[in-house]
Amino acid sequence: MEVEQIMSIHIQDIEKRFGGFIALRGVDLEIKKGELLALLGPSGSGKTTLLRIIAGLEAPDAGVLSLDGEDAGVKKARERGIGFVFQHYALFRHKTVLQNVAFGLEVLPWRRRPGRNEIRRRALDILKLVQLDWTADRLPSQLSGGQRQRVALARALVLEPKYLLLDEPFGALDAKVRKELRRWLRRLHEQVGVTSIFVTHDQEEALELADRVVILNEGRIEQVGTPDEVYSHPANPFVTQFLGSVNLFHGRIRDGVAQVGTWEVDAPEHAGASGAVFAFVRPHEIELRRRFIGKAAVLAQVRQVRSFGSAVKLDLTREEGDGWLEVELSHEEFQNLRPQVGEWLLARPRRFRIFPQPSEAARWTA
């Protein structure tokens, strides 16, 4: 019973195909009340389809969707109590900002519809919440992209929805506005507390903004977890590679110990596996030295040094095998080492993420 209380949306085995294209192949997901959830994935991963199915804009071919413990399969979009924000805003361009926001109230059945003044007051209140009450009498075409997106959000919030769904909410905006709106949405979510799901293909956006992140790929969920969980403990090679840069090493595993080059890495979680493995190392998890005493390392030559922001990025070529090595140093580490382009250095990963290589290996390394 208690589970029902915190579970707001329950998705079970949802499938959807469009003609020959399979958008979702059996998706299970539970969404908690009041959380801010990101659906993250590359294009074609099915994230938007999943969002549209929750909204009732699309009907699943199979599976169960329940909202607050009720089967939503029979409910139409307008009966679900959702607010939907479209990527391209979908504002009614012949209506003023205020009329756009008031729309949801205007179309209520007359018994539940508030009076004219009440509609106006509530619409203005929501506009104040998104800090756009001063644009009330303008047309959408007179607003900037970021302002339009906030109007779209206000319009979705006016009916006090139980769920707020946002489809690539910042996708059509430029980088600076996007950052501002992101922070602003986070604050708004804390203020309003409505269960919110947003779709994005930008991993930074998902990790910065969401309470939990759902990573989708080719119609399947690859992993669900907090930003820290999915970033630090990716469940598989796809997630590892999708969330930020990563260096790839090849190795073999036997009896829970992986042999990667000259390193031996304990991987008790793969005790039963044997054969080829991938070993992933993030750029900031590599140590660079001129010499290591008593520790195995690989030799690599510095090709390029890029210094901007909080870290210094180095591109190196490995001596053995082919391929690049991407290393991230703090400015302090960089000052201590002062590596020169063309110089040979020793590199040593601090930690590996080991994944047994699936037979369709090419898929991940491509």
Nearer to other proteins, 153 or 277 (CB): 153
DSSP-derived secondary structure letter, 109: -
Amino acid at 248: L
Number of residues counted as binding other proteins (CB under 8 A) = 31
Q: How far is the CB of 140 from other proteins (least distance, A)?
A: 9
The reply to whether 78 sits near other proteins by the rule CB under 8 A is yes
Determine the distance from the C-alpha atom of residue 34 to the mean position of all C-alpha atoms in its chain, rounded to a whole number. 18
List binders of other proteins among 141-160 (CB under 8 A): 141-142, 155-156, 158-159
Q: How far is the CB of 14 from other proteins (least distance, A)?
A: 15
Nearer to other proteins, 19 or 294 (CB): 19
From residue 159 to residue 198, what is the string marking binding to other proteins with x (rule CB under 8 A)? x---------------------------------------
DSSP-derived secondary structure letter, 293: S
Whole-angstrom Cα distance, residue 254 to residue 197?
Answer: 42
Q: C-alpha angle 266/268/273, rounded to 5°? A: 105
Element (H, E) at 288: strand 286-289
Which tokens in the block code for residue 15? 């499938």
On the CB side of 102, CA atoms within 13 Å amount to 21
The span of 1-9, 49-57, 128-136, 319-327 binding other proteins (CB under 8 A) equals 49-57
Can you give the C-alpha Rg of the chain in angstroms?
25
The span of 29-37, 93-101, 186-194, 277-285 binding other proteins (CB under 8 A) equals 93-101
The edge-to-edge listing of strands for the beta sheet with 82-85 is 82-85, 163-167, 195-200, 36-40, 212-217, 220-225
* Helix, coil or strand: residue 273: coil
Question: Which residue among 64, 90, 129, 346 contacts other proteins (CB under 8 A)?
Answer: 90
Q: How far is the CB of 84 from other proteins (least distance, A)?
A: 4
Question: Which residue among 21, 28, 62, 88 contacts other proteins (CB under 8 A)?
Answer: 88
Do the beta carbons of residue 344 and residue 301 sit within 8 Å? yes
Q: Site residues (CB under 8 A) for other proteins?
A: 52, 55-59, 76-78, 82-84, 86, 88, 90, 92-95, 103-104, 106-108, 139, 141-142, 155-156, 158-159
